[in-house]
Chain A
Amino acid sequence: MTTTVPVPYRVTAATPETADTVSLELEPIERALPAFSPGRFAMVYAFGIGEVPISVSALRGRLVLTVRAVGAVTGALCQLRPGDAVGLRGPYGTGWDLDAAADSDLLVVAGGLGLAPLRPVVHQALDRPGRFGSLAVLVGARSPGELLYRAELPQWRTSVQVEVTVDQPDPTWRGTVGVVTALLDRIDLRLDRTRALVCGPEAMIRHTARALLARGLPARRLQTSLERNMRCGTGHCGHCQLGPLLLCLDGPVIGYERAEPLLAVREL
Chain B
Amino acid sequence: MTTLPPLLDALPEAHRDRLLALAHDRDFPDGSRLFDEGGPADRFWLVRSGEVALDVYVPGRPAPVVETLGAGQQLGWSWIFPPYRWHLGARAVGPVRAWELPAAEVRQLCADDPEFGYTLMRHCVEVIADRLQATRIRLLDLYAPVGGGPP
Contacts and interface: CB of A to CB of B under 8 A. Distances in A.
A188 B1 contact: yes
Given A177-B53, A179-B137, A201-B143, A188 B151 contact: no
B contact face: mostly helix, strand, loop, or mixed: loop
Interface stretch (A2-10, A95-103, A107-115, A149-157): A107-115
A84 interface: no
Given A140-B143, A201-B142, A207-B137, A113 B150 contact: yes
B149 A113 contact: yes
B142 to A, nearest CB: 4
Interface string A155-196: 000000000010101010111111101100111100000000
A contact face: mostly helix, strand, loop, or mixed: mixed
Interface in B93-151: 93-94, 133-134, 137-138, 140-151
A240 to B, nearest CB: 12
Given A179-B138, A188-B1, A252-B150, A142 B68 contact: no
A117 interface: yes
B148 A199 contact: no
A41 B151 CA distance: 9
Interface residues on A, range: 35 or more
A40 B137 CA distance: 28
Interface stretch (B14-22, B59-67, B82-90): B59-67
A167 B150 contact: no
Interface residues of B, number: 34
B2 A188 contact: yes
Contact of B134 (A41, A53, A169, A182): A182
Contact of A199 (B68, B144, B147, B149): B149
Contacts of A54: 151
Contacts of B46: none
Nearest to A226: B150
B72 interface: yes
A68 B145 contact: yes
A113 B148 CA distance: 8
A203 B72 contact: no
Given A117-B150, A186-B1, A207-B137, A111 B142 contact: yes
Nearest to B147: A70
A199 B148 CA distance: 12
Nearest to B150: A227
A70 B145 contact: yes
Given A68-B148, A113-B150, A177-B65, 19 more contacts: A52-B151, A55-B150, A70-B147, A111-B142, A111-B149, A112-B143, A112-B148, A114-B149, A117-B150, A117-B151, A146-B143, A167-B141, A169-B65, A176-B68, A176-B70, A177-B66, A182-B134, A204-B137, A227-B150
9 contacts: A70-B145, A117-B151, A165-B68, A167-B141, A178-B134, A187-B1, A199-B149, A199-B150, A203-B137
| 10 residue pairs, one from A and one from B, having the closest CB atoms | A112-B143, A142-B143, A227-B150, A201-B142, A179-B134, A113-B149, A112-B149, A201-B149, A177-B68, A114-B149
